Chains A and B, each alone.
Chain A
Amino acid sequence: GQQLNQSPQSMFIQEGEDVSMNCTSSSIFNTWLWYKQDPGEGPVLLIALYKAGELTSNGRLTAQFGITRKDSFLNISASIPSDVGIYFCAGHTGGFKTIFGAGTRLFVKA
């Protein structure tokens, strides 16, 4: 089936550092989504991307929809302790069935 390969699996960084994580697939995606999940809660949408090459920002977060439509990245600038959590990439290949990656676990040391 369709799979999203998300990397890195985890990151340990110092407060104030920038973070980059990415997602790749062997399939073409029509939509790329980035979510954050805190313990005991459901994922919350951070950024949605709808066109190849699109670069979108949301505060300190920036994400891009890869030109090949098979990859996406998320950058977080000047990390703060509340950025701790699990970040998931997700997308649609056709229709509205959403495929999720396995997540990147972010740890921020104050």
Chain B
Amino acid sequence: EAQVTQNPRYLITVTGKKLTVTCSQNMNHEYMSWYRQDPGLGLRQIYYSMNVEVTDKGDVPEGYKVSRKEKRNFPLILESPSPNQTSLYFCASSLSTRGQIRNSPLHFGNGTRLTVT
């Protein structure tokens, strides 16, 4: 089944303890992205990747890191989490970056709810 898989689904941690949220897609998609969802703010893009070894900042990159060493994986790293990073995080992917957007909608994972105390 074609899907975007995030792990874990729920995570409670303490301030300053490094964590990684994994994202994997099995559709051979070039493009991957991370969003955070907060009440009243909708979804805001954190980082995105057009292809392997290519990553760029989104609208709210502060406090986050990503890597794209393989096409299928796009982990989100919080080196020193803080309470303001408590949020619902979504990973998304799509087949192509340009020219095929009509046939390349974003596929979303089911989300990771992170609480930082």
Is A bound to B?
no
Which residues in B have some Cβ–Cβ distance to A below 8 Å?
none
Interface residues of chain A, those whose CB is within 8 Å of chain B, are none
